Structure 1
Amino acid sequence: MSVAKASSEKSRPSLFWLLAAVVVPLVGWFAKIEVRGGENLPREGAYVLAPNHHSEFDPLTVAVATWRLGRAPRFMAKESLFRVPVLGAAMKATGMVPVTRGKSGASQSMAQANDIVKNARGVIVYPEGTLTRDPDVWPMRGKSGAVRLALAGGIPLIPVAHWGEQQFMPRYGKIKLFPPRRRVTVVIGKPVDMSDFVGREHEKGVLTDATDRVMAEISGLLGQIRGETPPAERWDPTRHGQSETGRM
């Protein structure tokens, strides 16, 4: 995979350098990552990256792909993790974005968006919120967090699909050390056009429609990788007696 010209946030010395020195070789043992559409990831400025989620390992492959494309990978994470000794300090130092439960979605999104834009950073947000429950491992119904954030700050929302991690760490399965360097494909899509939703965030159904559009884009990209047609209707765990935060 080609290495893109680094942005200023990657070229400046930071804790990311130390993390990359550990994580990149580790991921390289398991995955040979091929990235397509890397030109769709901005080299500078704010963005929201929205990937599918089908393996406990895939945050690492998404992070490495983002790093190799010249940007520092930052994730949205539960606020409680920021209070954990050492881990919390590392998350703060690398600019991870905290999410506080119970806080108004609109006000929280605006504050987060303003910070991302001010610091010209990107953030990776899993719109499904957890591992997909779809029996065929397609993206399931999404949540509105990524859309809220993008609309609040006028930030490009970029869909991402990846496939291949299930070869060495299937959903809820154990990691397989051999054989090494299984192919993982990551496709970066073009920013989702959400211009028709701008200024309408408080209207009924708008965030749902915008989220459905994003999930459709992610599913389409995944279909390209898999060489299959994604299902017309996305899996809804609440209709199948499943929790959205854990297994059945």
Structure 2
Amino acid sequence: MTTWQAIGLMFRAPRKGRGFWFSFAIDLIWPFLAVFTRLRFRGADRLPREGGLLLASNHLSNADPVTVTAFALTAGRIPRFLAKASLWRVPLIGKVVRGGGHIPVERGTAQARGAYHGAVEAIRRGECVLFFPEAGFSDDADHWPSAKVKHGLAKVALETGAPVVPVVNWGTHALLPARSRFPKLFPRKTIDIVTGDPVDLSDIVGTDRAALTEATRRIMHAITEILADLRGEQPPVR
């Protein structure tokens, strides 16, 4: 899309329920994306317009929550995402994540389970919740999804029955590499966000380890297949 088309989408995105500081951050960053990147969004029509919804995305860059947020807003959904709890204690950023209704994760502590309950409650309120199942950036040298992923998303999906829509980010790793503190604006980067059909988990019963492993496998397979199609390459055999 053109720069002006991208900016136009910002004004059509839902505002109610975003919270002042989250909304302020969106309004500040969106024009930056529109001017300094080429945004290509596909599959927004696959996101249900209402009701609990889970988005499952690959993870390449700190820019991913920004680009997926922009994408979800074009589909009429306000995403709530899980993020490390330390962000809630950072000036200004804390106001953004707190006001936006996002879900803190106390990594490596007994309170980490609270994020699961927070996600389930959000889904039951009819919210759209964004997960990065890899729980970190891809550890694959060629930027394919990591072989090791967490089962948290699968558990929330099986507990709530909410649809899981796979989402692929591509190009964010060129805009803001994993170990970089500042974006690389030139040459202008192309950012693709593509979704697939909801992942069919209807035949999986329960939330035991076998069920969670199979649900996670299907979700990650869907993400990998979309990425392979986007890149025009074969994913690694694992």
**TM-score per shorter chain, which class?**
0.7 to 0.9
1:92 is paired with a residue whose SS is helix
Q: 1:162 maps to what in 2?
A: 169
* Residue 215 of structure 2 corresponds to residue 231 of structure 1: no
Shift of 1:87: 3.1
1:185 is paired with a residue whose SS is strand
Q: 2:55 maps to what in 1?
A: 49
1:32 is paired with a residue whose SS is strand
One of 87, 104, 118 as aligned partner of 1:81:
87
Q: Given that residues 10 and 70 in structure 1 are in contact (C-alpha distance below 8 angstroms), is that contact kept between their aligned partners in structure 2?
A: no
Shift of 1:108: 5.3
1:28 is paired with a residue whose SS is helix
Distance in 2 (alpha carbons) for counterparts of 1:13 and 1:76:
16
* Residue 42 of structure 2 corresponds to residue 36 of structure 1: yes
Q: 1:220 maps to what in 2?
A: 225
Shift of 1:136: 1.2
Shift of 1:83: 3.9
Distance in 2 (alpha carbons) for counterparts of 1:65 and 1:221:
16
Distance in 2 (alpha carbons) for counterparts of 1:158 and 1:75:
14
Shift of 1:189: 1.3
* Residue 113 of structure 2 corresponds to residue 113 of structure 1: no
Task: State TM-score, norm by structure 2.
Answer: 0.84
Q: 2:183 maps to what in 1?
A: 175
Coordinate RMSD, CA, aligned: 2.6
Matched AA of 1:115: A
2:233 is paired with a residue whose SS is coil
Shift of 1:220: 0.2
Taking a change above 3 Å as real, the CA distance of residues 98 and 158 of structure 1, as seen in their structure-2 partners, is: same
Q: Given that residues 4 and 69 in structure 1 are in contact (C-alpha distance below 8 angstroms), is that contact kept between their aligned partners in structure 2?
A: no
* Number of positions where the alignment pairs a residue of Structure 1 with one of Structure 2: 228
Shift of 1:111: 4.9
Taking a change above 3 Å as real, the CA distance of residues 224 and 82 of structure 1, as seen in their structure-2 partners, is: same
Task: State TM-score, norm by structure 1.
Answer: 0.80
Q: Given that residues 117 and 153 in structure 1 are in contact (C-alpha distance below 8 angstroms), is that contact kept between their aligned partners in structure 2?
A: yes
Structure 2: tracts of 5 or more residues without a match: none
Shift of 1:10: 3.3
Q: Given that residues 49 and 123 in structure 1 are in contact (C-alpha distance below 8 angstroms), is that contact kept between their aligned partners in structure 2?
A: yes
Matched AA of 2:40: E
* Residue 33 of structure 2 corresponds to residue 27 of structure 1: yes
Distance in 1 (alpha carbons) for counterparts of 2:202 and 2:162:
11
Q: Given that residues 46 and 122 in structure 1 are in contact (C-alpha distance below 8 angstroms), is that contact kept between their aligned partners in structure 2?
A: yes
1:196 is paired with a residue whose SS is coil
Q: Given that residues 166 and 198 in structure 2 are in contact (C-alpha distance below 8 angstroms), is that contact kept between their aligned partners in structure 1?
A: yes
Shift of 1:80: 3.6
Q: Given that residues 57 and 169 in structure 2 are in contact (C-alpha distance below 8 angstroms), is that contact kept between their aligned partners in structure 1?
A: yes
Q: 2:200 maps to what in 1?
A: 193
Distance in 2 (alpha carbons) for counterparts of 1:232 and 1:201:
27
Shift of 1:175: 2.8
1:154-186 Cα shifts (integer Å, max 9, x gaps): 211111112122333334356322123x22111
Structure 1: tracts of 5 or more residues without a match: 234-248
